[in-house]
Structure formats: structure tokens, C-alpha cells
Amino acid sequence: MNPVRNTSSFRDPSGYVFSDGTAIKRVVFPSYFKQYNALSDSGFYTKLFDNQFLVRHLELSQSTDQIVLEAEKIPFITYPYEWSFLQYKHAALLTLKIQKYCLEHDFTLKDASAFNITFHEGKAVFIDTLSFDFYQQNEPWKAYKQFIMHFLAPLVLSHYHGLDFLKTLAADIDGISLKKLSKLLPAKSWLSPTLFTNIHLLAKYEGKYSESKSEAKTNTLTKSAQIKLLESLYDYIRELKAFENTEWDDYYNQTNYNDAAYLFKKAFTKNWFDGINGSSLIDIGGNDGTFTREISGKATLAIVADIDPNAVEQNYKKVLKQGEKNIYPLVADVLNPAANYGFNNEERFSFIDRVEALQLSGCLALAVIHHITLSGNIPFAFSAKFFSKMSDNLLIEFPTREDSWVQFLLQSKRDFKDHFDFYNEENFEKEYASYFEIISKETIPGAHRILYRMKIRK
């Protein structure tokens, strides 16, 4: 297979990433040889690996033209606008921790993009091998402003205004401007020494000394002062919280299953995954990953996607607590999944494209179709097409019109309730049959819900 260059890395003047079909590799240009060799020969890369700060790489070859590395494979890359608040915090804290560690070894991060972080084996990890440079005495952190725009901005906006602001980088891939950020924050934020210094004062300074003005000047900052700045940001972000009650908080205590139905559903899910000899899956609308965990012991990769950031956060906390390395929680709205973003729409890849490329063994869609159809106004044919891209094998739960949640959603339509007369078992099966073969179906005892095993039509 011919090497395929990864379009996410085209902005990097030090090298680029490519895939040869089996592995992810990185080419290092001669302009970065000095830094790379110093980082390697000093053992600093190894220290970053050992501290689980940086994704591991293996040097494959070195010539006068290029150095080729093979990176540890990360099965699924998540982006900042797909993280819960705690995930975002941990990504920010890791970046600060790495920069402090760099300074202690006379290196520095030359950029602080949130896209340099992803989650692997349950934890945040830095993935840009070429982001490190030599530290110059009394030189300020060049990536400081980018850190504020990429990390501090979404976190403080979410703290004050709600969790939707965690998606800031989806609206502006380079981060929100400091001027706009300062205006969006409430007046009381000016009383916070951290926010006053790192946002409001910085925004004011940027307006006065823009790069286009002749009076722009280069500041100096001692290493000890920079470390104090990093520690101050670290302490502030570590204590930062976001309070927002969401629809799915404590979901499993509100559901209308009895214990027998709940256990039946768990057993059915396990039997389905065994039946397809599954080794990987995606759980759409998976909440806190409860049903994924029934089968995750047999899966090397389990992606749990949910629209609710609080549910995703609970899942992430379980991953951390239980040391689960194969479960990847992320925030994803089926009605508006992450698109292709950036230059030529090729810098960040869509949720659907990333999942489709994995060719996962199975897809779980439990207690989600009525929300897609009745809340999202998505016809069955369109949701069937969506699920056909997730996996060849689908386990989907269909709540009938008698289900209390369905009744609630229909009543909420009021005068338009009759427009959803199509919502029934017969039409569901008919539309999904265009994409899937229905292998079997079974009603959950004591519930107005049907579980369908489906397989893609070739």
C-alpha cells in the first residue's frame, strides 16, 4: 500500500505524519534534526514515555534527508470538542505539567494546541513528538497565548456559561480570540487574579501591542517566574468546576425498567456480542457505559458515545477508577456529529469517518432510536443509514408507542403529534430492512421494548 499522508499535520514545518496501512509513522525534516537528536540523546523522550506524558515512538531509520519514526498506535483519536469537562481539565493539566517538566530539563513546548492531546488507555496523552524545542534563557513561553485560547478559554466559559462552551474549538479551530473571551466573561471574573492576569490583562495588552504595530515589544521572563505562572494556572484549573444539570443525569435511576427487564437486557447484550464473535464496538447513546461494560471484557476497543457531557464524565471517572484501558468515552450528538474541520475540511476528521474507518465488530443502540426519531425528527430510513456506517452488526432497542418515554415524547409534540403516526414497529422494520437483515427480535419482559439483532446487507 502506498503511504498516505495525514492531513492533520500539514501545518508542522518540522515534519509530517503518514500511514502505510498498518502503522502510523512520522517523518522528521532536517530543520528539526538538532532538536530531535538532543531530545533522544539526552534521554528526555524516554523520560516523557516513562512518565506516560508522550505517546511512544520507535526510530526506524535516519538519513541526511529525513528521520522516520513509528508511533505507538492509538486506535481512536478524540478531539477537544468531544471531551467532558473533566477530560478537558486533565488535558490542560497534562499540558502544563509537560511544559514545567520541559523547563526543568532546558526544553520547552513550542505550541500548546489542545489537538496535541488525545485519550489513550484511559488517560490523556500528548501525541505531537515534534512540539519540543530548546529553552532560551529568559524567553517567555511562546505557546502561552495558545494555551489560554485552547484550554483555559473553553474551561472558564463552561464554568460560567455552561458545558456547550467545551465545543469552542469546533467553531474556531485556532481558538477563541482573547478580546472575545474577555467580553464573554462576567464582571466578577475580573476579581479573579488568575483570570484578570491571564485573560483580561492579556487581551488588553494584545489590543495595545498587536504584532502589526511598531511599538510591539518582546518581553523577558525568567525560568522561575515561568514555572510560577504554570503552577498558578495548574492550581486554578485543577480546582475549576462546571455545574450544569442535564437531561440524562442519574439516567439509570429514572428509567422505566424493572430489575428483571434490566437483567434480561444485559444478558441479551452479552449473548449478541458472543454471537458475532465481537472484538470491538461502539455504543451510541451509551450514557455512562453500563451496557458496554457487560461485554467490554471481550473487546479490545469499546467506544462509548453520548450527547450528554455529564454522562460521559461519569463514564470517564469509571474508566480512571477501574483502570480500564479499552473504553473510550466521548461526547457525540448523533443529530449533529462532529464534522470535518479545518483547511480544506481535512485537518480534523468527522466522527462518522473515524468510526467507519475502524470497521468495528458491532454497534449498540440501546434506548436511543425514539429520541433520534421523535426528538430529532429523523426518519427511520436516515437513522438506518447512519447506523449502517457504524458497523456491520447492530443491536438496537425499539421502544413501542406504548412505552412511557415514547408517550412523553409524542405528547410533547402537541398539535404535531399526528405527524408521527409512522412511529411503529412495522415501519421501523420496513425502513431498516433496506440496510440491514433482521436476524432476530425479542421483546424485553415487562417492558414495551423490542431488541433487534441486525446484520448489514451486502
Assess if residue 272 is contained within a domain: yes
- Cα distances (angstroms) measured from residue 380 to each of 155, 310, 339: 37, 28, 22
386: three-class secondary structure by DSSP: helix
Largest CA distance in the chain: 75
Q: How many domains does the chain have?
A: 3
**Exposed/middle/buried for 163, CB within 10 Å: 0-12, 13-18, 19+?**
buried
- Cα distances (angstroms) measured from residue 278 to each of 329, 368, 392, 398: 19, 21, 11, 22
Domain ranges, residue 44 = 4-71
- Residue 142: which residues within 8 A CB-CB, separation 6 or more? 108, 110, 111
212-270 per-position pLDDT tens digit: 444 445 689 999 999 999 999 999 999 999 987 776 555 555 566 788 889 999 999 99
Q: Which residues of 426-454 are buried (b: 16+ CB within 10 A; e: fewer)?
A: eebbebbeebbeeeeeeebeebbbbbbbb
pLDDT along the chain (458 residues), means of 10: 77 90 93 98 98 97 96 97 99 99 98 97 97 97 98 98 96 95 97 97 78 56 97 98 74 67 94 96 97 93 97 98 98 97 92 98 97 96 98 98 94 88 97 98 96 96
Look-up: residue for cell 531530545? Answer: 39
**DSSP, residue by residue, 333-345:** -TTS----BSGGG
Residues 425 and 368 in one domain: yes
Residues 197 and 282 in one domain: no
In this prediction, residue 417 carries a pLDDT of 87
CA distance 458 to 455: 9
Residues 9 and 55 in one domain: yes
Residues 89 and 220 in one domain: yes
In this prediction, residue 213 carries a pLDDT of 47
Decide: 98 and 55 in contact? Cβ < 8 Å: no
Decide: 115 and 79 in contact? Cβ < 8 Å: yes
Pick from 367, 369, 368: which is nearest to 422 by CA? 369
Assess if residue 169 is contained within a domain: yes
Report pTM.
0.94
Residues 66 and 84 in one domain: no
**Exposed/middle/buried for 143, CB within 10 Å: 0-12, 13-18, 19+?**
buried
Assess if residue 129 is contained within a domain: yes
Look-up: residue for cell 496501512? Answer: 21
Assess if residue 114 is contained within a domain: yes
42: three-class secondary structure by DSSP: coil
Residues 116 and 171 in one domain: yes
Assess if residue 418 is contained within a domain: yes
In this prediction, residue 217 carries a pLDDT of 53
Decide: 205 and 218 in contact? Cβ < 8 Å: no
Assess if residue 244 is contained within a domain: no
CA distance 283 to 294: 12
Domain-terminating residue out of 54, 71, 88: 71
In this prediction, residue 215 carries a pLDDT of 45
Phi, psi angle pair for 225, to nearest 5°:
-70, -40
Assess if residue 246 is contained within a domain: no
In this prediction, residue 175 carries a pLDDT of 96
In this prediction, residue 252 carries a pLDDT of 53
Residues 144 and 234 in one domain: yes
Domain-terminating residue out of 239, 272, 296: 239
Cα distance between the two ends of the chain: 25
Please report, as a single letter, which amino acid is at residue 397: E
Residues 300 and 274 in one domain: yes
Residues 169 and 187 in one domain: yes
Domain-terminating residue out of 48, 71, 94: 71
Residues 203 and 296 in one domain: no
Residues 368 and 439 in one domain: yes
Decide: 256 and 404 in contact? Cβ < 8 Å: yes
In this prediction, residue 45 carries a pLDDT of 98
Assess if residue 150 is contained within a domain: yes
Residues 86 and 204 in one domain: yes
